[in-house]
Amino acid sequence: MHRHRVRGQPWAFAYLALHRLIELVILIARSDDSKQIELLALRHEVHAQAPSQASILRSGRPCAPRGAQSTAPPFPLDLLGVTPATLLAWHRRLVARRWTYPHRSPGRPKVDEETTALVVRLARENPRWDYRRIQGELMKLGVRLAASTIARILSDHDLGPAPRRRGATWREFIRAQASHIVATDFFSVDTVLLRRLYVLFFIEIGRRRIWITGVTAHPKGTWVTQQARNAAADIVDERIDVRFLVRDRDAKYVASFDEIFRSEGAQILRTPFRAPNANAFAERFVRTVRSECLDHLLIVNARHLERILRSYARHYNCHRPHQGLSQGIPAPQRRPLLTPRTPSQSVPARVRHVRRRDRLGGLIHEYELAA
């Protein structure tokens, strides 16, 4: 018992020293007014409850006043301002944060925007592809997606399953069949003497090649039939397999006209009433020939007009770049000698030697490299 008390005395001394130190800190931190108030209160309690001399003699030590006992400083840990439960809660949070791994939301990861755009593009460009077909194409491109994910993406973009998805548009249909479609139409030209002439032409939609068959002031049935016969022979010589002939409902196209192309295996497609956009390629050529040629010339007679149009047709087919062909030429006579250059490349010396050829009295210029 004596040994245990001696062993515990150093810890008791340390506790008392810490206790006094805390009291000193609290005392220094307090203001003078509070100290004076506390002294007055203690003196009042001492005078009111002074211990008797006998009690002092019996105990051998003075009794501490009640007020002094009540004003003893608190336990050091009470100065933290928190309860033990709060301290334990803090510790539990630290442990949970230390051993918690990155959190991921449940379910499959979200598909990024680039992959979503690729799925939508494949579906729109290929209306007949189902989910599995799109999934296979994506795997070939290094993208792995489930068929259900592809279905959800298409549903979010208002694209249904392949059997019920929208079919090809007229633009897509014509592009797919362009190499087998020939369109025909008439346009009129007024001469100097206000005589109206009619021109019949044919255009192959695939390569935009044109045939201007003839000019007349009276497009009768026999004349139209003969022009159809001449055009069909020229198209066959070019090894073009005509499957469809697009024309409007003009009365100039007689039954014999259609029969000539039917004999070549073509189907006659008549455009709706008052719908020039249904024969847009022919209408676009009429606008081109007027803006580039006929609007800048005075026509004398039918022979003059025919000579001008044939010269323009050679320019249109063999020299004029076409935007619908990515600036290609419908029927080039020879291959270009140079490949397209980027702006950063230097210009070869021979490019500076370019020769110009004039057509229609200088109205149209054609350029080619000098030999």
Residues 9-15: what's their mean pLDDT? Answer: 69
**Which pLDDT does position 57 carry in this prediction?**
47
Residue 142 or residue 348, greater confidence = 142
**Which pLDDT does position 70 carry in this prediction?**
47
Tell me how far the alpha carbon of residue 85 is from its chain's centroid: 56
CB atoms inside a 10 Å sphere around CB 323: 8
d(CA 34, CA 21): 19
Average pLDDT, the chain: 79
User: Mean pLDDT lowest for which of 26-35, 154-163, 316-325, 361-370?
Assistant: 26-35
d(CA 147, CA 162): 13
**Which pLDDT does position 174 carry in this prediction?**
65
User: Mean pLDDT lowest for which of 72-86, 147-161, 237-251, 253-267?
Assistant: 72-86
Secondary element (H or E) of residue 283: helix 280-292
What is the DSSP code (8-state) at residue 347?
A: P
User: Mean pLDDT lowest for which of 7-11, 129-133, 197-201, 267-271?
Assistant: 7-11
Kindly calculate the radius of gyration of the chain based on its CA atoms and give it in whole angstroms: 51
Flag whether pLDDT at 211 surpasses 50. Answer: yes
Residues 165-172: what's their mean pLDDT? Answer: 62
State which amino acid sits at residue 170.
W
Secondary element (H or E) of residue 245: strand 244-247
**Which pLDDT does position 198 carry in this prediction?**
96
Q: Give the chain as a 3 state SS string.
A: CHHHHHHHHHHHHHHHHHHHHHHHHHHHHCCHHHHHHHHHHHHHHHHHCCCCHHHHHHHCCCCCCHHHHHCCCCCHHHHHCCCHHHHHHHHHHHHHHHCCCCCCCCCCCCCCHHHHHHHHHHHHHCCCCCHHHHHHHHHHCCCCCCHHHHHHHHHHCCCCCHHHCCCCCHHHHHHHHHHHEEEEEEEEEECCCCCEEEEEEEEECCCCEEEEEEEECCCCHHHHHHHHHHHHHHHHHCCCCCCEEEECCCCCCCHHHHHHHHHCCCEEEECCCCCHHHHHHHHHHHHHHHHHCHHHCCCCCHHHHHHHHHHHHHHHHHCCCEHHHCCECCCCCCCCCCCCCCCCCCCCHHHHCEEEEEECCCCEEEEEECC
d(CA 287, CA 354): 30
Residues 55-75: what's their mean pLDDT? Answer: 50
In order of 33, 68, 201, 239, the CA distances from 37 in angstroms are 6, 14, 118, 120
Q: For residue range 228-268, what is the model confidence (pLDDT) as tens digits?
A: 999 999 988 888 888 999 999 999 999 999 999 999 899 99
Flag whether pLDDT at 216 surpasses 80. Answer: yes
**Which pLDDT does position 78 carry in this prediction?**
59
Tracing tokens 């109206």 back to the chain, one arrives at 196
